[in-house]
Amino acid sequence: MAIEKNELRRVIGHFATGVTIITTRDEDGRPFGLTANAVSSVSLVPPLILVCVDKKSESYPYFERSGVFTVNILGEEQETLSRRFATSGTEKFEGVGYSKNDLGCAVLDDTVGHLACKIVQSVESGDHSIYVGEVEAADAKDTSPLLFFRGGYRKIGG
């Protein structure tokens, strides 16, 4: 028998991750996004990464329609931003500094880095969709990332 949801969350929570905000857009260029740690590198040649998006999230239809996303890797001082983008039904971008990249996705200010992707494959899997994105542009700087571990935000060394 498969394990129960809370037990899976507890156990997988021992796998420490970074924290990202994945952004996308509607057909008028309005930004959408959500906090996510189900993000992984897939392939170097061609350059592919994947993200997993809950089909119940408000952002989900915009990933489906636009076919593009950008992964913003949060810095250790961006926990408040992470909490904001992990809350549905709010004006997430109000007062948040960002620019738009060539794909029309929001690149948030003061992050560790970002990866701009075109979706080349999508797989419905359980209650999420897995989007494989070809990386069109990316950048990062050597500043400390925000971490998520055992259900809480952490800093490297903290």
Ligand X SMILES: Cc1cc2nc3c(=O)[nH]c(=O)nc-3n(C[C@H](O)[C@H](O)[C@H](O)COP(=O)(O)O)c2cc1C
Q: Does 35 contact ligand X by CB under 6 A?
A: yes
Q: Does 117 contact ligand X by CB under 6 A?
A: no
Q: Of 81, 79, 68, 85, which Cα lies nearest the Cα of 26?
A: 68
The rounded distance, in Å, linking the Cα atoms of 83 and 137 is 26
Query: Which residue's structure tokens are 């971490």?
Result: 147
Residue 136 CB, nearest distance to ligand X (Å)? 21
Q: Which of residues 69-98 bind ligand X (CB under 6 A)?
A: 86-88
| Chain CA centroid to CA 3, Å | 26
Q: Of 139, 158, 137, 155, which Cα lies nearest the Cα of 147?
A: 155
Residue 7 CB, nearest distance to ligand X (Å)? 18
Residue 21 CB, nearest distance to ligand X (Å)? 8
For ligand X (CB under 6 A), the number of binding residues is 16
Q: Does 119 contact ligand X by CB under 6 A?
A: no
Work out which of 31, 49, 50, 53 binds ligand X, going by CB under 6 A: 53
Q: Where are the alpha helices (DSSP H) in 24-100?
A: 60-66, 79-85
Q: Using CB under 6 A, which of the segments 8-16, 30-38, 118-126, 131-139 binds ligand X?
A: 30-38
Q: For ligand X, which is the closer residue by CB, 135 or 148?
A: 148
Q: 131: burial class by Cβ within 10 Å (0-12, 13-18, 19+)?
A: buried
Binding site for ligand X (CB under 6 A): 19, 34-38, 52-54, 57-59, 86-88, 148
